[in-house]
Amino acid sequence: MTTSLWQDAPEPMRAEHDDVVIGAGIVGSYAATVLEQRGRDVALVDARFPAAGASGRNAGFVLTSQRETYPVLIEQAGRDGAREILAMVRDNVSRMRALAVEYDVPFDEGAVHLAQSRAEARDLEEWARAYEADGVPVEFAEGDPYGAGFAATMRIENDFAVQPARLTEAIAAASGATLYDHNEVHSIKSAGDHLLVAGRRAHIRCQRVFVATNGYTGNLHPYLLGIVRPVRGQILMTTPVEPLIDVAGITEYNYFRQFEDGRVLMGGARCFFEEQEYTAEDVTTPNLLENLEAYLRRWFAGIDFEVERHWAGIHGFTPDRRAAVGLIPDESRIAFALGFSGYGNSIGLLSAERMVELALDGRDPGPLSAARFA
Ligand SMILES: Cc1cc2nc3c(=O)[nH]c(=O)nc-3n(C[C@H](O)[C@H](O)[C@H](O)COP(=O)(O)OP(=O)(O)OC[C@H]3O[C@@H](n4cnc5c(N)ncnc54)[C@H](O)[C@@H]3O)c2cc1C
């Protein structure tokens, strides 16, 4: 999205803060929290409102995993790099749980990875063994907990599924930052010893800017276009059905959860419509929704439902489908944490923290460093 000159407030508010965080999703809200804890005076800015983006639309899985399986992460980042990412993810999952408890946000214990075929079961087992070797409590078993006919299941201790919008809103509200909502930022300009963040409703002077706009980043800085790409995800919710799924499940291309009231959330199938889903357009499409519906009917025979609701969300994907934390090369006062590639609940908090540490302390973000795309 962009905003036109005509849509600007006639007299935009003028403000000054130490730092401006752009994007009040889970990553920006947590970055604002970390900055406030470090004694900074922070403006948290959003084009709409906290959790308006992917953080308020996702499936709520908080998994000890990333878009790529652990064996693939090892190939990409080496064993030490993969171990470091894994340690961050485990820390992130624990923090998400602690925050959900602290803010009384509903969550369901557990989640399982499922293999649909013997070949997928072999890959899942390889992943489970690699996790075990690196100290992750994990159970691999033939079959599935629903008796639905999946080939195998991997269950990792501490995984769970949360109400993601409530959690993000709570983190934003507790951060201590001043919120500027409905304030889409259209430019970040250097003005001598400070930066000027110009939005529709407010122009904010600051020392540093933290960009946490994920899949919506395109218009903020050309450098970021090469790092993060918008990819749409779609989800449907059924009318209530009998208890079928006592623990949330994720397969290579799909995911599902059932709520206490019987409704089933079903998402994924993006890879079958790849070209169509490389977009930031916030609409659902009949072909993908039909595919999700057919998936549920195929695996849960006899299930009788109607689609009650459906929505879309925009992810940010990087070229190697791992989060990217960095500074803009020719303007080191602008930091960013982007590209969670569908796993922001698993690594978003740690990425936000690494972004702050990079900007304030010069700490290398390690395997999340965006320098790998230089
Ligand atoms: C359908 C779907 C299902 C998913 N399921 C899961 C899941 O189960 N588990 C998981 O870990 N991850 C999941 N994800 C991914 C997860 O939602 C994201 O990784 C995570 O929410 C990213 O958080 P964020 O704060 O970086 O971005 P967002 O939540 O997208 O926040 C970015 C914010 O920036 C604001 N913004 C954008 N441009 C501007 C601007 N110019 N000025 C001001 N503000 C701006 C937007 O309004 C938005 O609020 C899913 C994503 C989708 C789309």
Question: What's the mean pLDDT in 19-40?
Answer: 98
Question: Ligand 1 test: best mutation among 314, 315, 318, most atoms within 8 Å of CB?
Answer: 315
Look at residue 247 and tell me if it is in a domain: yes
pLDDT at 182: 96
Banded model confidence at residue 10, pLDDT cuts 50, 70, 90:
confident
The pLDDT of residue 266 is 98
Q: What is the CATH classification number for the domain harbouring 121?
A: 3.30.9.10
The C-alpha atoms of residue 269 and residue 278 are separated, in whole angstroms, by 13
Q: Give the number of domains in the chain.
A: 2
Burial of 330 (C-beta count, 10 Å sphere; 0-12/13-18/19+): exposed
Q: Which of 280, 296, 317 is the last residue of a domain?
A: 317
Burial (Cβ within 10 Å: 0-12, 13-18, ≥19) of residue 18: middle
Q: What is the pLDDT of residue 52?
A: 97
Residue whose Cα lies nearest atom 33 of ligand 1: it is 23
The C-alpha atoms of residue 70 and residue 218 are separated, in whole angstroms, by: 29
Closest protein CA for atom 15 of ligand 1: 342
In whole angstroms, what is the distance from residue 254 CA to residue 236 CA? 12
Domain shared by 239 and 221, yes or no = no
CA dihedral over 226, 227, 230, 231, signed as positive or negative: positive
Residue 143 CA, distance from chain mean position: 29
Please work out whether the CB of residue 233 comes within 6 Å of at least one atom of ligand 1. Answer: yes
The stretch 334-338 carries a mean pLDDT of 98
Among the candidates 298, 317, 336, a domain finishes at: 317
Q: Is there a single domain that holds both residue 248 and residue 304?
A: yes
How confident is the model at residue 3, as a pLDDT?
A: 78
pLDDT at 9 over 90: no
In a domain, 89, yes or no: no
Same domain, 223 and 347: yes
- Given a cut of 80, whether residue 50 has pLDDT beyond it is yes
pLDDT digits (tens, 9 = 90+) for 210-232: 999 999 887 899 999 999 999 99
Helix (H, G, I), strand (E, B) or coil at 113: strand
Domain co-membership, 119 together with 237:
yes
- Could you say which of 286, 317, 348 is where a domain stops? 317
| Cα–Cα separations (whole angstroms), residue 5 to 95, 137, 150, 182, 199 | 41, 54, 54, 15, 10
Say if residue 2's pLDDT is above 80: no
Regarding the beta carbon of 230 and ligand 1, being less than 6 Å apart is answered no
The rounded distance, in Å, linking the Cα atoms of 137 and 156 is: 6
pLDDT digits (tens, 9 = 90+) for 158-173: 999 999 999 999 999 9
Q: Is 255 helix (H, G, I), strand (E, B) or coil?
A: strand
- Reduced 3-state DSSP string for 140-162: EEECCCCCCCCCEEEEECCCEEE
| pLDDT of residue 56 exceeding 90 | yes
22 and 147 fall within a common domain:
no
Is the pLDDT reported for residue 7 higher than 90? no
For residue 295, what are the domain limits?
A: 111-158+229-317
Å from CA of 76 to ligand 1 middle? 24
pLDDT band, residue 8 (cuts 50/70/90): confident
